[in-house]
Amino acid sequence: MSHAPARIVVLVSGGGTNLQALLDGLGPAEMAPPLPPACVVLVISNRADAGALERARQVHVPTYVLRDPADAAELLRALEDGRADLVVLAGYLKRVPPAVVARFRYRMINIHPALLPAFGGPGMYGRRVHDAVLASGATTTGVTVHYVNEEYDRGPIIVQRAVPILANDTADTLAARVLAVEHQLLPMVVLELVKRGIPDEPVRLL
Ligand code: GRF
């Protein structure tokens, strides 16, 4: 007998290209055999106008818009209603309330468009990250997937991938190259964690 697919719930605030990579890279959410190892069962956003929600609707994945992203009880209820095995923050810009972090310890991951701990922390998101990377004169940036803990961008790192910075890079060209790597890495990490049974202690991948 094959396992039921792991239930992945994705939190989003923006356009959702990483959500799209998960929708494309994991199995479809229907229950006909052969069952995929994991599928996206619910997409939650703090913004009703997040483009990511439309991507979910296109493939008939349920969506939920939070009334108050700081309300731990509301988010917990949504995650529990979705029977989330693993929660993925894919461009989610709100702080996850500590009670939710504690409840989903090592079952909640985030993707960040730089090599943490560099260029992370409060306010470091989107274009600002790439502007700061370029301003620093660094020659390499990258992507980090890490567990969510109580501090912004500080949870244990699962995996990192380097992306070279080219001499004529702008924040936009760099963001596009980094994003392409994000789209490869995020489904890979989800599938790898699922394959290992979503261990309740941190996993470090090479
Ligand atoms: C990505 O760069 C991700 O690393 C960061 O927010 C961005 C989201 O982009 N956390 P998208 O909404 O997935 O297109």
Q: What is the mean pLDDT of each run of 10 residues along the chain (206 residues)?
A: 87 98 86 87 98 97 98 98 98 97 98 98 94 97 98 96 97 98 98 97 96
Contact of 78 with 92, CB cutoff 8 Å: no
pLDDT at 36: 92
| 90 within ligand 1 shell (Cβ under 6 A) | yes
pLDDT at 204: 98
Q: What angle in degrees, to the nearest 10, is found between the helix axes of 51-58 and 17-25?
A: 20
For residue 117, whether the previous peptide bond is cis, meaning omega lies within 30 degrees of 0, is yes
pLDDT at 115: 98
> Out of 3, 60, 112, 130, which one is annotated catalytic?
112
pTM: 0.96
| 141 within ligand 1 shell (Cβ under 6 A) | no
Residue 91: count of CB within 10 angstroms of its CB: 24
The beta strands (E) that lie in 52-198 are given as: 63-65, 86-89, 108-112, 140-147, 157-164
pLDDT at 1: 52
pLDDT at 84: 98
H or E segment to which residue 189 belongs:
helix 171-195
